[in-house]
Amino acid sequence: MTPFLDALTFQAGYNAALVSLGAALLGFAAGCTGAFTTLRRRALVSDAMAHATLPGIGLAFLAMAVLGGDGRALAGLLAGAALSALAGLVWLQHLTRTRLPEDAAIAATLSTAYGLGILILTVIQNLALGRPAGLEGFLLGSTAGMLRSEAILIAAGGAVTLSLLFLLRRPLVMTAFDPAHARLMGVNTRAVDMALLLLTLACVLTGLRVVGLILIVALLITPALAARLWSDRMGGVALLAGAIGAASGHLGAALSLALPDLPTGPAIVLTAFAAFAISALVAPDKGVIAQILARARLRRTLRGSR
């Protein structure tokens, strides 16, 4: 327990504190953004964007290695991931404008992009270019060697995302609840939807280094689902989702530091799921226990009225 408590209280060393803070900041930004993403029913779109980042990571590495670098500059890799994800989003929107159902278009985009990314990474491993070791960390996250510059980049990305989310909160809520009414009120719902997807993409890019492209969607969605069990007000749901995400990031990172064989990304995601499971059990009104008690009270009332 001592290593775990040291990690929780930021007493486990500079690098451990850096990892915990970065994971907590990411969790807060992802939780707040995910509250709006789930409300707008865009969870699967964010999954497709996350998988579409992988080809861009590989191509960015090749470009930087050919230009004489080692190919592992985080800013360059994230830029490549962003361009690749945007290309995947454009392709997804093109498919949905055809007769193809949205879920089928998402599945096609997700699987194709992921397969292409794995192919590019496999080719990179067989080339004598740059330093490809560690690129696979973008699949499941790799935080143990996080540098101060990378933590600052994650914090800056999260801060920008949260600031834009706060500024756009009203049109985002209006578009999510009633797009037709929002259009009557003069809201450009297409632009609002695109802004939400771009904010989600920013969270995906920020989280690649911490939890990886496969698990970042869980960090976007799970805290939001847990928060919706506790509140019906959008502001409260977003803040609570951010708090659950931040706590999951910090606790998951602390568990990973205390148990060296436990990868950080899965630890963070499983901690978020534990928060959801507890919420599903004990949340007032919507929790399993509350519903069981409500049914019991209803049965007693019905028996008493006979």
Domains and CATH numbers, the chain: 2-305 (1.10.3470.10)
Residue-level length of the chain? 306
User: Hunting for tokens 């990892």 — which residue is that?
Assistant: 19
242: Cβ–Cβ under 8 A, 6 or more apart, which residues? 27, 28, 29, 31, 32, 35, 223
Angle between helices 14-39 and 148-167 (to 10 degrees): 30
Helix/strand/coil (H/E/C) assignment for every residue in 138-151: HHHCCCCCCCHHHH
Q: What sign does the dihedral 229-7-154-83 (CA atoms) show?
A: negative
Percent of the chain at pLDDT > 90 equals 13
Token pair, residue 133, equals 């070791």
Residues 34 and 224: beta-carbon distance below 8 Å: yes
Which regions in the chain score pLDDT beneath 70?
1, 130, 133-134, 140-147, 305-306
Q: What is the pTM of this model?
A: 0.84
What is residue 280's predicted lDDT score, i.e. its pLDDT? 93
Report how far residue 52's alpha carbon sits from residue 114's, in angstroms, rounded to the nearest whole number. Answer: 6
What is residue 306's predicted lDDT score, i.e. its pLDDT? 62
pLDDT, one tens digit per residue, over 188-205 is 888 888 888 888 888 888
What is residue 146's predicted lDDT score, i.e. its pLDDT? 67
What is residue 277's predicted lDDT score, i.e. its pLDDT? 94
User: What is residue 12's DSSP assignment?
Assistant: S
Token pair, residue 73, equals 């500059």
Residues 256 and 145: beta-carbon distance below 8 Å: no
What is residue 143's predicted lDDT score, i.e. its pLDDT? 64
Long-range contacts of the stretch 161-165 (C-beta < 8 A, 24+): 161/29, 161/33, 161/199, 161/202, 161/203, 161/206, 162/28, 162/29, 162/32, 164/195, 164/199, 165/32, 165/33, 165/36, 165/199, 165/238
Residues 95 and 38: beta-carbon distance below 8 Å: no
What is residue 245's predicted lDDT score, i.e. its pLDDT? 92
CB atoms within 10 A of CB 73: 14
Residues 27 and 247: beta-carbon distance below 8 Å: yes
